Structure 1
Amino acid sequence: MPRKKQSKSKKIKRVRPSSVFSPEKIENLFRKGRSRGFITLNEILHSFPNLEKDIKGLEKLYQDLENKGIEVKERKGFLEMEEKDERIKKILPDLRIDSIRMYLKEIGQTAMVSAREEKELAKRIEKGDEEAKKKLIKANLRLVVSIAKRYVGRSWNLTLLDLVQEGNLGLFRAVEKFDWRKGYKFSTYATWWIRQAVTRAIADQARTIRIPVHMIETISKYEKAKRRLLQSLGRDPLPEEIAAEMGIEVEKVHHIIQIKQRAVSLETPVGDDDKNSVLAEFIEDEKTPSPLTMAARNLLKKRLEEISTELTPREKKILAMRFGLEDG
């Protein structure tokens, strides 16, 4: 009898639930959108603060919103860029402000494109039109600056222009990935790619020891909670108070405090004198014996040598080899 062919069991591909987009928050967002016909960009950001880690999940969210007839609106003035930004003046030295003004003036000469023009440019980009790609990038450079400004001060060694440069890389990536058929605006889509590029740059370059992107956001929340409590209490808050404010365990707060500490170079200059003193000169070497210990050892060694003269050469050699009297 011919053997029956065993039917191969089909492997069922299990889709892992997204760690960024929880079903409960998505449903709350849909409920809010259905009640008034739209949701704002800030509401998405508030619901999913780390959404740039899951761009594909974000695209699906936008597709679901479009299918349900819910519009995503950007807040007014989101793309506006003023040359005289007071926040920049407070944070950056005067020498850097001039270069920032020059850059803002340069990118401000390019007009922003409409939704219809975005669609046409995206179609041309699909066909390999490099000029269309350049035009779409130039039209959204101000968007990069407006996003990069929010991250100024989170890294001691990354200036605004550094963050803008990293954000521009995210913009280039957004231009390559943008699908005009999905229906949403390019600026809305590019925002997440720009945020992702900037936050990753801070995580990768801001510290000697790299901190994961999600911990960068957690540290930022910790700093905000600490400032709020400092203003309300009039003193430095305790870890227990910060934990209650953030809604996390005290052990987690201690973990954040430990992680946020910066590595300090031993070559860091110390003092204002001209002697060029460095930090390493002021740190005690615990492995090196103290002068008192060294003096005691030398006296003991001398006393042992005096006693060993009374021993035979063989006994002296045995003791020296047994206790390491010659070479330690």
Structure 2
Amino acid sequence: MVVDERLQALLEQGEELGCLNLSAVGEFLQEAELDDDQTTGFFEQLEERGIALTDDCARPDAVENTYVNGDLAVATTDALQLFLNEAGRYKLLTASEEVELAKRIERGDKYAKDLMINSNLRLVVSIAKKYQGHGISLLDLIQEGIIGLIRAVEKFDWRRGYKFSTYATWWIRQAVQRGVANKSRTIRIPVHIVEREQKISRAERQLMARLERDPTDEEVAATAKLSVKHVKEVRSAARAVTSLDRPLGTEGETSFGDLIAGAEVEPSEEVHVSLAEKAVRTAVDTLPEREREVVKLRYGMDGDPDPKSLEEIGRQLGLTRERVRQIEAQALQRLAERREVAALGDPA
């Protein structure tokens, strides 16, 4: 199996270096989709082989990451500042203190569990800060990370000899990533769809590097071990969401929603609709040749009423999907700035 081969290669690399990067291990665990027992078994193999997990394995100047009060300087709200101040009250635990607390947690000591959680809140903040920029506040990211931290406290086995922070990092990252997947979109997409999207993206990168062209849906599906139907479903779900209130025109006097016809059009409006369509087609015809081709193919204005996907247009024009997307965005921006298009939103 591919997973077994990757696992063996990862372990051999760890034995050679004496350590592995947390990022590499986290990526492997996410791609392999191991359950809790399999994940625990993987950590057991690392322990048996004497492989340490660090953030900077194989770097000669590597030093162990520590999380100090300086990491807590960023604050955007009073609630966030209050949380950071509270987290800073708890000192970092030594390895022996972690073991002692873990033993007490096993005996059902709730105070020990709370102390283990509170003493590692700075680790949560440090990880959560790396996922900013997805439309989710830092405080919300921290809350997601705390869920992962609690899970790590409940699963931690002190007998295996790992530092708790090393073990907890993976759980915290997983929780934050799932939180981003759940909350960063206008329309929520189920986590399993987001995970499929990540698998498809990885497969596309691998195939593009090997084939030096955009892969077909069939090639992506085979590499990602998904059906072609699932690949198309994920792409459909991942389409960007456009606000109906998005302003158009140089002064923003027209919104995108103004250009969308209602379900029922009054006879008196049919002439206006016809003229509007003609105005749009005229505006499209003024675009540079490549932009005009992309827009017509993308929106069914080329004689074929069925709009084409970015991938289909890319294959037809010999471009990558990303390049087609860029050309489309440039074209739509040009159209939005044209007076005859912006005027379509003006009242009669």
TM-score under structure 2 length normalisation: 0.58
Structure 2 partner of 1:31: 12
Change (3 A) 1:24 1:222: closer
State whether residues 51 and 192 of structure 1, in contact with CA within 8 Å, keep that contact through their aligned partners in structure 2. no
Report deviation, 1:44: 1.7
Structure 2 partner of 1:127: 107
Computed over aligned residues only, the root mean square deviation of the Cα atoms, in angstroms, reads 4.0
Change (3 A) 1:103 1:51: farther
Report deviation, 1:219: 8.0
Structure 1 partner of 2:260: 283
Change (3 A) 1:205 1:73: closer
Q: Which whole-Å CA distance do the structure 2 matches of 1:98 and 1:220 have between them?
A: 38
Q: Which whole-Å CA distance do the structure 2 matches of 1:281 and 1:222 have between them?
A: 39
TM-score under structure 1 length normalisation: 0.61
Task: Give the letter aligned to residue 67 of structure 2.
Answer: E
Change (3 A) 1:144 1:220: farther
Q: Does 1:192 align with 2:170?
A: yes
Q: Which has the larger radius of gyration?
A: 1
State whether residues 55 and 192 of structure 1, in contact with CA within 8 Å, keep that contact through their aligned partners in structure 2. no
What does residue range 1-328 of structure 1 map to in structure 2 within 5 Å?
22-50=3-31, 54-75=35-56, 76=63, 78-81=65-68, 83=70, 96=76, 100-153=80-133, 155-156=134-135, 158-207=136-185, 208-211=187-190, 212-215=193-196, 217=198, 244-245=208-209, 249-251=215-217, 252=220, 258-266=236-244, 268=245, 270=247, 279-285=256-262, 287-291=264-268
Query: Residues 216-241 of structure 1, C-alpha deviation per residue, up to 9 Å, x if partnerless?
Result: 54588699x7xxxxxxxxxxxxxxxx
State whether residues 124 and 132 of structure 1, in contact with CA within 8 Å, keep that contact through their aligned partners in structure 2. yes
Q: How many residues align?
A: 249
Gaps of 5+ in 1: 1-16, 89-94, 226-241, 295-328
Report deviation, 1:276: 10
Change (3 A) 1:170 1:85: closer
- Corresponding residue SS for 1:96: coil
State whether residues 79 and 146 of structure 1, in contact with CA within 8 Å, keep that contact through their aligned partners in structure 2. no
State whether residues 31 and 199 of structure 2, in contact with CA within 8 Å, keep that contact through their aligned partners in structure 1. no
Q: Which whole-Å CA distance do the structure 2 matches of 1:138 and 1:108 have between them?
A: 9
Change (3 A) 1:164 1:28: same
Query: Identity of paired residues, percent?
Result: 35
Gaps of 5+ in 2: 57-62, 222-230, 272-348
